[in-house]
Amino acid sequence: MLGTRFTYSGDLGLLAAAPEIEDATGETFKGWCKKYLLARLQSIDGKPLEAVDLWAARCGVLHTSAPVSTLSRKGEAHEIWYRFQGKIGVNLCLNAKLEPLGMEIEKFAIAFKEGALAFIVDLNNDSTSRQAADDRAQRFLRWGTED
């Protein structure tokens, strides 16, 4: 039997998607980023990040545990190199068409938190979207501890 301490694994892009959308996609992810994250985030050197850069970074980390993705190799997105506490992870085998962009992990976390809070405010002001998000969230994995 599972205890009462749970965390949820889900996709905010899917939760924010129009009610008729059934599945998470790159477009739902990028849509959420455009609306709630990009205005709060920039690269280490002040250059703007695009939703496609964040999608490519997500794909690289998820599929290869690296900053490289199909989109960055094709020159359709920048690689993102992460800096945390003064140390930056770089791709020593860089063979990208676009220059990489650096991102402070701490600033990313703050921007994500602020974006997520703004998203919750929007959900609370739109009962149709809130109901669609709630229905979708019921499908998310629920992680808990065994008693």
Domain layout of the chain by residue ranges: 7-12+21-146
**What residue ranges of the chain have pLDDT lower than 50?**
1-9
pLDDT at position 4: 40
How far apart (Å, rounded) are the C-alpha atoms in residues 56 and 16?
20
For the chain, give the longest Cα–Cα distance: 52
Global pTM?
A: 0.83
Contact 3, 144 (CB under 8 A): yes
Query: What pLDDT, in 10s, does the model give residues 94-133?
Result: 777 899 999 999 999 999 999 999 999 999 999 999 999 9
How far apart (Å, rounded) are the C-alpha atoms in residues 67 and 57?
6
pLDDT at position 8: 40
Q: Pull the structure tokens for residue 67.
A: 């900053």
Q: Pull the structure tokens for residue 26.
A: 């790159």
